[in-house]
Structure 1
Amino acid sequence: MKAILALAALTISSAVSLHAAALPEAQKIDAILAKEWEKNNLKPNPPATDEVLVRRLYLDIAGRIPTAEETQEFVRSNDPAKKTKLIDKLLGSDGYTSNMFNYWADVLRLTDNVKGRVTAEAYEEWLKKQLKANTPYDQFVRNLMTTEGGVWDSGSIGFYMRDENKLDHLAYTVQVFLGTQIVCAQCHNHPFDKWTQMDYYGMAAFTYGMDTRGYEKNALKSLAPKGKKGAKAPDVDRAALKNMTKDQRKAYMAEQRKKMEATEAEEAKKPQLSRADVEMVRKSFQDVMKPLRYTSISWTDKLPTLPADYKYPDGKAGQSIQPKVLFGHEADIAGSPTRLDAFSKWMTSPENPRFTTVIANRMWKKAFGIGLIEPVDEMMDSTVPSNNELMEYLTTLMQEKKYSLKSFLRVLYNTDTYQRMATATEVPLGETYHFTGPILRRMSAEQVWDSMVTLSRGNIDDRVEDDNVRLHQYLDDLSMFLNTVNSKGPEALVEVAKQGNAARVETDKRIAELTEQAKQMRESGGNPDAAQKLAREAARLRKGNSNDVLEALLGEERAQDLRRGYQPDKKGMSAYDKAALAALSKEERREAMKMGGSLSLNARASELPSPAKPGHFLRTFGQSDRELIQNASDDASVPQALSLLNGPASEVLGNPLSKLSQDLKNADTPQQKLELLYLSFLSRQPTNNERAVLAQVIQQRGDKAVDDVTHALLTGSQFLFIQ
């Protein structure tokens, strides 16, 4: 036992000489940091070994440890450009998409546990596609800010659907993209910053018009009352107006009004429904329209009003507030089609004093473990970076890279500073870290999970999904349903509703009869199974009321597809190779099948429900509950140790069908098996001191040595930390 404890406590050392950074931009960063080291009489950390670096790169970029084969391929290579080539390979992999999805899911608080489950999953898929395509970050943010329509058009509407409270959503938006916390000013003037409650409502005015109940407006459009002459302003091209002379604008507006009046005149000729007919249709379609809830958003010109308890002299309760930005240049509202468009352009402009700095600082922290500005999302006018010259250069670099996060990260990972040994001492609160190397960090919950998947299944990065086929089939059904309803015309909808009402009367009558019969049967002590059967028939008929309307609209087959609803794929279920299963002995097959269902280490964290349910391995290791921005934790806990030591994770890794078990089976001697464990868990061979300890373990424990060392490595800090 002492030998095992000694084994778990050993640390690695040794280094190789550093090469000059491969990229000019990386050399620039190293030069700026070198001046800081000299100024503060500091020495940079020693260069990282190939073994340390290959593991760090896989974890930081692809979100998992490398396989034993991937480690050996890198370490054995004599290519002088192998580090840069590996960085490029990983940045272009699906592993990068998976890892960055986990990061942004935490920042954007993506969750499946919302009312609009379909929209939430489409939002997640949209995000993965944006990351895989390396959509420039400024365009990515504008896409989110200005999204509109149905989820079948774009999953990005999940950005607004995430929070029902539009005032809260504004606070999260500003915190994420501008690194500024203004949430306190929603209720009162900020106690620690300059923002007032009026400032808050001025910012909220940009996004307040986004209506997340859009399905109610999109559905049954043909029932909407026709507008009266002059009831609304004509549609105009504001950008075109801006370049016109006064006379041209006058003529243009007159022409637009003429077109609008002609359209209204045509609409007025169409048959008008009575209020009773409209109400009958809405009532008949109430249940039928439920699948469309939380599936679309629409933009309105609605403005926020000051709350009833507003107490400051610059405004009155109930007063409508016009949009006004917090800082920097003014938003071009007049030259934009909507306030939202003006807001998104203002926010993502290179002239915005915080937008570029915030994302550059976030990516720096992702690579090095600590930001030049901390916290990354609590910037104030008084905020000063730990290295102002470097922060200014990174901001410029982000703009030069045209907001390509991959290109920006490529520079950071190619710096000599990143490729040094990690700083193992914690940076005290309030003290400045001068980046003599990256910070030692514990893996995130997702990195732990994905590394366990790698041990169990090998590299499965190519199984990260691009398209959720089942989801898109259902979205197509929803779009088809909405289009069918809107294409029917008022008279057809009234006819369907009348048929539905007639059927409902007969059905309700039959339901009442069945309910009464079941009641009498129970009271008289009759056959309880027969009574239950009657009750089930009544429930079926009750459900059938809305089904009749749906079938009248779509036909029986398509109505059945829509009623079936969205059934997500069960990801992570066992899918072992049949040939590998056949190669096992009878006892091994029995053991493999018994273990296979204990933990589904067959899918990456990005492919599982987001976030995992409480009690899941991911949540045990600190996965965010997505209630707050970046709410994940890397604190150690007793349940984590127990989960690794005695939980299903170790059982699955010990499954005869797991990659680790198969590799161990192919090793000839106990010593080779233990060396393979080190290579698989830590991406390196044991040191001479560790070999001595391992020899004692083999001598003392015999056949149990492999299990003992597996547990020691699995629960040790060297496995869980990114060195």
Structure 2
Amino acid sequence: MSVWAEKPAESVRIDAILEAHWKEKGVQGEAIVDDQIFLRRTYLTVAGRIPSYEEAQTWLASQDVDKRNKLIEQLIESEGFVNQQFNLWADALRIRTTGRDGDVSGGKYFVPWLKNQLRANTPYNVWVREILAAEGAPWDNPASSYYLRDVGMPLDNMAITMQVFLGTQMQCAQCHDHPTDVWTRRDFYEMAAFRYAVNTRRNYGQMEPLQPLLKELQERKLDGLSDKEKKKMNADKLLNPAGRDLFRSMRWQTTRNDRKLKFPDDYQYEDVPAKSVVDPHTIFGESPDVKKLKADDRAEFYANWITSTENPRFTVVIANRVWKSVMGRGALEPIDDIRGDSQSEVPGLSEELTAIMHQVNYDLKAYYRILLETDYFQRSAVVFDSENPDSYHFTGPTLRRLSAEQLWDSYVVLLKPDIDNRPENYQDPLPPPPGPVQLLSTFTPEQMADYLDSAEKAWKERQDARTAFYRVRSDPEKADTEEYKELKQTHQAAEKKWRSYSNVSDAMMMMGEAEEQDATEDQKKKGKKPQWWERNLARAADLNSPENVDHWLRVFGQSDRDIVDNADETSTVNQALLLLNSGETNSILTEKSDPVKRAKEAKDPIKALEALTIGFLTRQPSEQEKAYLLAQWETNPKLARERMAWAMVNTQEFLFLQ
């Protein structure tokens, strides 16, 4: 029996397909869950976190017969939905804002851009096409960061594009015909020939903003040189080492060119000669005559073909990916290795999901609503046994451990219940361009040339200090010596001085274009300084991507963003130790979390317990829990509260999405 006041027709069709499957298999669908489980499940699935105490208490107390539908609508339009969606796509797209890859790829520009696409509910096919057709610098066109994630690796990027957006694994075919699928090495290279039109590295001489500066440097440096020497004076040589270092970030941009891809020297098949030029050809359907296509046309064709409604895989893959994010297991598995003979265990399910995605025109919010408003979404969770997969008949969503991001964000909301409150029409701001790029539009070419002369001295000092310090640092006998300490201090000072040349404000003062200003007393006092435990207490989507290896997120399996969908949801000893013994659990959640504060204010021990169980577990306390707390309360209320809070965080009930 349905729990909905009214269900969309598409949700009805999905439930009917599943019910027909159960009848054929001689099984029953799981029972519909109660409000408490539904509330927690929906928050974790849609908003990526548990509800706060206030949110849970208000919704559970509501007598509105249509409150489940209204909750889904509320959460899909919330900031939490944006964060949860971003986490899913950050894993799939391997988005990085840390390390060298984070710097090169322009991840810090891609992150707010993608969040804003999700927030605006830009149709999926539109924003995917935008990243596949992107060109330019990431600060001008953040979508170009997708290609910059694989700088200098166009073949790998093409294979990843096929995997993420078309659910097709072609990596093996880069070296040989695929051993278990239909793809040949020739297929791989013919598909890669489209992607080869996009380049991710530019020379200094190709950068338009640098041209006025290069012209000025040319006039200064070519005077007195022979014609032969002048010909050798390219853009790299016109710039001094400091200039090449300052403008290095400008080299990583997506551009289009007409370079031709060739089959490799070791091409081992007789269908085409090794080292011959590759003619582009799509792996599905008939390609038009693309031999004469220019770079712009090849790049556009590539983006249009992948995201076309006629592409036999594009819609299937996104419909299946979202279904898995909601229900725990794809209609087709694996979701990124779909083949010509792939079939769902539930006849017609994948086809129906694909048809619905077409029907909603790739509106992900509309598609989520349809899935969430099925009876199937509210059925009790089922354990999927990977060693006996045939025993799972889609009688209910799968029981699964929370992702690292869901755990972290649930931890955060316990301490900051209003974490998702944002102003109306909020947009993530894009960071400014790199400092040197801003300076090019601020200084005249003459000023910029003078600035590089000044920077060269600081650059050389930094290089000398670094060399001297690294030599001592690699010598175990020099550790903790006065020489080591002095060289370290000198290196740090030289590094700081050099970095100031990339800072716009510092550069303006060095060139006499601005005066140093002291912060006013009001500015110094502005804002309450957060306590130690509050620092970096933000949603996972707003932290480093990925976080440092010792962060809670990484301990619980956050993806390293090196491989597509590389998150690890298995349990480890380190996770257990973190929950059992860490300061985050012992001194923060058990003392400073919102449910514990509410429990402190409650004079009645049962009311205190309700604050804890609703706040941590989204449910009323059991009789056993009441008996335990009452026995402990008279002796030491504080210890009783802390023990209950500690125990709840360490239970499977808290750690699993049921």
Q: Same fold (TM over 0.5)?
A: yes
Secondary structure in 1 aligned to 2:255? strand
Distance 1:210 1:721 in 2: 43
- Please give the residue correspondences for 1:14-25 in structure 2 after superposition, counting only pairs within 5 Å: 18-19=3-4, 21-25=6-10
1:360-411 alpha-carbon deviations (Å, 9 max, x no partner): 0001101100001111001111211222312111101101101011110110
How far is 1:544 from its partner? 7.3
Give the aligned partner of residue 193 of structure 1.
Answer: 181
Contact 1:507 1:542 (C-alpha < 8 Å) held by counterparts = no
Distance 1:694 1:67 in 2: 22
How far is 1:503 from its partner? 10
Contact 1:421 1:437 (C-alpha < 8 Å) held by counterparts = yes
1:540-582 alpha-carbon deviations (Å, 9 max, x no partner): 699779969x999978469999xxxxxxxxxxx9966xxxxxx
Q: Say whether 1:179 aligns with 2:167.
A: yes
Distance 1:295 1:506 in 2: 24
Contact 2:10 2:370 (C-alpha < 8 Å) held by counterparts = yes
Q: 1:331 to 1:122 in 2, by over 3 A?
A: farther
Q: 1:275 to 1:721 in 2, by over 3 A?
A: same
Distance 1:328 1:171 in 2: 18
Contact 1:329 1:352 (C-alpha < 8 Å) held by counterparts = no
How far is 1:72 from its partner? 1.7
**1:185 is aligned with what amino acid?**
A
Contact 2:53 2:594 (C-alpha < 8 Å) held by counterparts = no
Q: 1:187 to 1:671 in 2, by over 3 A?
A: same
How far is 1:501 from its partner? 6.4
Aligned residues: 610
Distance 1:545 1:224 in 2: 22
- Please give the residue correspondences for 1:305-704 in structure 2 after superposition, counting only pairs within 5 Å: 305-330=262-287, 333=290, 337-424=296-383, 426=385, 428-431=387-390, 433-462=392-421, 472-473=431-432, 475=433, 477-483=435-441, 488=445, 496=449, 556=510, 596-598=531-533, 600=535, 602-654=537-589, 656-696=591-631, 698=633, 703-704=638-639
**1:312 is aligned with what amino acid?**
Y
Contact 1:167 1:204 (C-alpha < 8 Å) held by counterparts = yes
How far is 1:662 from its partner? 2.0
Q: Which moved more, 1:193-202 or 1:691-700?
A: 691-700
Distance 2:67 2:638 in 1: 39
Secondary structure in 2 aligned to 1:316? coil
| TM-score for both structures, normalised by structure 2 | 0.83
| TM-score for both structures, normalised by structure 1 | 0.76
Give the aligned partner of residue 220 of structure 1.
Answer: 210
Contact 1:599 1:649 (C-alpha < 8 Å) held by counterparts = no
Contact 2:214 2:238 (C-alpha < 8 Å) held by counterparts = no
Q: 1:44 to 1:601 in 2, by over 3 A?
A: farther
Give the aligned partner of residue 302 of structure 1.
Answer: 259
1:233-282 alpha-carbon deviations (Å, 9 max, x no partner): xxxxxxxxxxxxxxxxxxxxxxxxxxxxxxxxxxxxxxx99436546523
Distance 1:116 1:137 in 2: 26
RMSD of aligned Cα (Å): 4.0
Secondary structure in 1 aligned to 2:571? coil
Of 147, 151, 156, the match for 2:134: 147
Of 42, 51, 55, the match for 2:36: 51
Q: 1:330 to 1:52 in 2, by over 3 A?
A: same
Of 11, 14, 17, the match for 1:29: 14
How far is 1:193 from its partner? 0.9
Secondary structure in 2 aligned to 1:84? helix
How far is 1:190 from its partner? 0.8
Give the aligned partner of residue 80 of structure 1.
Answer: 65
How far is 1:222 from its partner? 5.9
**1:122 is aligned with what amino acid?**
Y
Secondary structure in 1 aligned to 2:100? coil
**1:368 is aligned with what amino acid?**
M
**2:617 is aligned with what amino acid?**
L
Q: 1:656 to 1:316 in 2, by over 3 A?
A: same
Contact 2:458 2:494 (C-alpha < 8 Å) held by counterparts = no
Give the aligned partner of residue 258 of structure 1.
Answer: none
Distance 1:599 1:393 in 2: 46
**1:677 is aligned with what amino acid?**
L
Give the aligned partner of residue 112 of structure 2.
Answer: 125
How far is 1:215 from its partner? 6.1
Distance 1:332 1:397 in 2: 33
Secondary structure in 1 aligned to 2:254? strand
How far is 1:173 from its partner? 0.7
Contact 1:360 1:395 (C-alpha < 8 Å) held by counterparts = yes
Q: Give the % identical residues.
A: 35
Q: 1:356 to 1:170 in 2, by over 3 A?
A: same
Distance 2:313 2:129 in 1: 16
Q: Which moved more, 1:39-48 or 1:293-302?
A: 293-302
How far is 1:316 from its partner? 2.6
Distance 1:313 1:103 in 2: 42
How far is 1:483 from its partner? 4.8
Q: Which runs of 5+ in 2 are unaligned?
A: 216-227, 468-481, 516-526
Give the aligned partner of residue 71 of structure 1.
Answer: 56
Contact 1:215 1:297 (C-alpha < 8 Å) held by counterparts = no
Q: Which runs of 5+ in 1 are unaligned?
A: 1-15, 226-271, 516-527, 562-572, 577-595
Distance 1:538 1:715 in 2: 43
Q: Which moved more, 1:647-656 or 1:393-402?
A: 647-656
Contact 1:331 1:342 (C-alpha < 8 Å) held by counterparts = no
Distance 1:544 1:191 in 2: 53
How far is 1:661 from its partner? 3.1
Contact 1:601 1:652 (C-alpha < 8 Å) held by counterparts = no
Secondary structure in 2 aligned to 1:184? helix
How far is 1:150 from its partner? 1.4
Distance 1:351 1:508 in 2: 57
Give the aligned partner of residue 166 of structure 1.
Answer: 154
Contact 1:445 1:622 (C-alpha < 8 Å) held by counterparts = yes
Contact 1:142 1:348 (C-alpha < 8 Å) held by counterparts = yes
1:89-115 alpha-carbon deviations (Å, 9 max, x no partner): 100011101111111111111112343
Distance 1:60 1:708 in 2: 28
Distance 2:491 2:557 in 1: 47
Distance 2:356 2:2 in 1: 27
Distance 2:649 2:348 in 1: 41
Secondary structure in 2 aligned to 1:386? coil
Q: Greater Rg, structure 1 or structure 2?
A: 1
Q: Which moved more, 1:643-652 or 1:355-364?
A: 643-652
Q: Which moved more, 1:552-561 or 1:275-284?
A: 552-561
How far is 1:722 from its partner? 1.0
Give the aligned partner of residue 281 of structure 1.
Answer: 238
Contact 1:598 1:652 (C-alpha < 8 Å) held by counterparts = no
